[in-house]
Amino acid sequence: MKETAKFESSSGLSRQKIETALKALLALRTLVLAVGNAQNDGEVGTVPEIGVSPFIWRNDGLYIYTSRLSQHVRDLIELGEAGCLLCADEADSQNIWVRCRLKFTVKAVEVSRYDPIFDDLCSEFTTAHGPTMGLIRNFTDFHMFRLVPVDGVLVLGFAKAFRVSGPAFDIVAHLSEA
Amino acid sequence: MKETAKFESSSGLSRQKIETALKALLALRTLVLAVGNAQNDGEVGTVPEIGVSPFIWRNDGLYIYTSRLSQHVRDLIELGEAGCLLCADEADSQNIWVRCRLKFTVKAVEVSRYDPIFDDLCSEFTTAHGPTMGLIRNFTDFHMFRLVPVDGVLVLGFAKAFRVSGPAFDIVAHLSEA
């Protein structure tokens, strides 16, 4: 029998409940990306760039396929890291002040279209997100990225926020603030 | 009779259709904020901070009421500007590759709780977002901000992106990329 973790007793939510809510967020279809605004001098500008992308989730990270015509994608190529957000629809939010969400930092690694896994990833995108992938698959301004989660925060309600860590979003601690 | 604007003929969407879609986004209840990661040395870190907040929309900007216990709020106080995203629910998106959305940069101005308009704003929050406001209104870790839109991009579909400008999100141009 598993012992009750400290984050379970302090939050009043069982590990199973938390993991079910986490999986529901990972079953969303799109993520929000916030990327530093890369400057020519190697510095980062004050106001980040934002993008919204369909994604697929694998054990080793979240994958997006997106065009460098968008500034945030050029910045992602330049900087190699970003902030990510998965957020439940407003219509599914019981209390709008605490939309269930998972935010986390990622390292971004480009997957070349000549990489042996590229075809598999494209097929998964088609299965998950429909025939648009067939149209954009050969557009060379599009890039495939693996986003590898580093650490983050899972918000499930008032006083129900948790620190998560690593690509599997292991629950590390209950946070008293979020 | 109004002449057809260039952005109407090139996008195939009438001004009225575009403005209706814009208003639907402004009728959302929450916004996503991406804020530069303020460092002690005055620089900005690579990975932005992200937050999700209920908002109300007035002629002079969008208002949020949010706690400085969150890192992105402390960064917003420090930097005074941010990126914003209003994004239609996934369930309302016909094609998940182009969720209707409005992203824009903002200047953030704090509204003191001793400002004569503070009470009005709190009442509007209660009307728009329910009784939670009554609970958090006197929490002094919460700050009221006016977010004044500078410029942005409205995405309504493939090849249907528009540059917008100012607090009223005036439609400026049809973009060939987004």
Domains of chain A, with CATH numbers?
A: 6-175 (2.30.110.10)
Residue range B124-160, pLDDT digits in tens:
999 999 999 999 999 999 999 999 999 999 999 999 9
Contact criterion met (CB below 8 Å) for A56 and A125: yes
Cα–Cα distance between A160 and A174 in angstroms, integer?
Answer: 7
Residue range A122-170, pLDDT digits in tens:
999 999 999 999 999 999 999 999 999 999 999 999 999 999 999 999 9
Mean residue pLDDT of chain A comes to 95
CB contact set of A166 (below 8 Å; sequence gap of 6+)? A149, A150, A151
The ipTM estimated for the assembled molecules is 0.95
**B25, B84, B85, B96: which to substitute to probe chain A, counting the most A Cβ within 10 Å?**
B96
- Per-residue model confidence (pLDDT) at position B42: 84
Q: Which residues of A touch B45 (CB under 8 A)?
A: 36, 44
Instruction: Residue A49: name the closest of A79, A71, A77 by CA.
Output: A71
Contact of A82 with chain B, judged by CB distance below 8 Å, is answered with yes
Contact criterion met (CB below 8 Å) for B178 and B101: no
CB pairs under 8 A between A and B: 122
Cα–Cα distance between B13 and B88 in angstroms, integer?
Answer: 19
| φ and ψ of B133, to 5 deg | -55, -35
Cα–Cα distance between B31 and B73 in angstroms, integer?
Answer: 14
Asked if A99's CB is within 8 angstroms of B46's CB, the reply is no
pLDDT at B178 over 80: no
In sign, the C-alpha dihedral spanning A110, A114, A116, A121 is: positive
Q: What is the value of pTM for the model shown? A: 0.96
Contact of A160 with chain B, judged by CB distance below 8 Å, is answered with no
Contact of B52 with chain A, judged by CB distance below 8 Å, is answered with yes
Asked if A177's CB is within 8 angstroms of B96's CB, the reply is no
Q: What is the DSSP string of A108-123?
A: EEEE-TTSTTHHHHHH
Residue B90 has its nearest CB partner, among A29, A47, A105, at A29
Q: Which residues of B touch A48 (CB under 8 A)?
A: 34-36, 48, 82-83
Contact of B49 with chain A, judged by CB distance below 8 Å, is answered with yes
